[in-house]
Amino acid sequence: MQGPGVVWYVGLSAFLFGIGALGVLVRRNPLIVLLSLEIMLNGANLALIAFARSAGNGAGQIFALAVMAVAASEVCVGLGLVVALHRKRLPLDVDKLSELRG
């Protein structure tokens, strides 16, 4: 394998995961929270594919494809929720949507 070793890819994926976690925690717009979740999932995907290359077997790539399918379904439901909030004229702010808070 030419170029940087697997450790570099995994470090990059950790940074991506951290950025995504920061976005989920800091941002209040549910659309951007969903986008940050995508970054977190992609960070995990990069680590999976790097480990698949390092171990030389395909289970990691299969797992990455399954993560992509889960991300697509998550976006489907999340965007459905955002559209439903918009139709009910509710504010698109995760701090103001606190009806279910215990």
Chain positions 42 to 61 lying near other proteins, rule: CB under 8 A, are: 42, 45-46, 49-50, 52-56, 58-59, 61
Nearest Cα neighbor of 75 from 22, 38, 28 is: 38
CA distance linking residue 33 with residue 40, whole number of Å: 11
Task: Kindly state the helix (H) or strand (E) to which residue 65 belongs, with its residue range.
Answer: helix 59-87
Q: Site size for other proteins, by CB under 8 A? A: 72
Angle CA(58)–CA(64)–CA(70) in degrees, nearest 5? 140
Under the criterion CB under 8 A, does residue 4 sit at the interface with other proteins? yes
CB nearer to other proteins: give 39 or 102: 39
CB nearer to other proteins: give 72 or 102: 72
Under the criterion CB under 8 A, does residue 39 sit at the interface with other proteins? yes
